[in-house]
Amino acid sequence: MYLYGNTWRQIRYKRLVKFPLCALCAELGVTTAATVVDHIVPHRGSKELFFDSSNLQTLCEHCHNSHKQRQEKSGTLLGCDAEGNPLDAMHPWFRQPVE
């Protein structure tokens, strides 16, 4: 199913109007104009994830290409919580030993 149609274009446009700055740059205290509307959890064709507004963030081109592509390629979210556990629940760290 093709998800990037008119509905997505409207969502994307409204999002960029409402959140014109890059969310990742903002965390670092940097103000950068956002140009990309990104899915926080990769949707991988899931309509629910794709159209879930809480799964969206606006990013600049640079953040989208570096940070996000790496996450999507490796399949893991980088970083740890305060206890040192990976942020990504699917991280191999959480896997039970095979034997």
- Cβ of residue 61: shortest distance to Zn ion, in angstroms? 8
Amino acid at residue number 86: P
To Zn ion, the closest distance from the beta carbon of 21 in angstroms equals: 8
Query: Quick check: 29 and 22 in contact, CB under 8 A?
Result: no
**Owner of token pair 């940070």:** 67
Nearest-approach distance from CB 36 to Zn ion, in angstroms: 9
User: Which stretches of the chain bind Zn ion, using CB under 5 A?
Assistant: 22, 24-25, 32, 60, 63
For residues 97 and 73, the answer to whether their CB atoms sit within 8 Å is no
Q: Describe the chain by its helix, strand, coil percentages, rounded to 5.
A: 45, 10, 45
Toward Zn ion, which CB reaches closer, 32 or 57?
32
Of 16 and 25, CB closest to Zn ion? 25
Q: Which is nearer to Zn ion, 35 or 46 (CB)?
A: 35
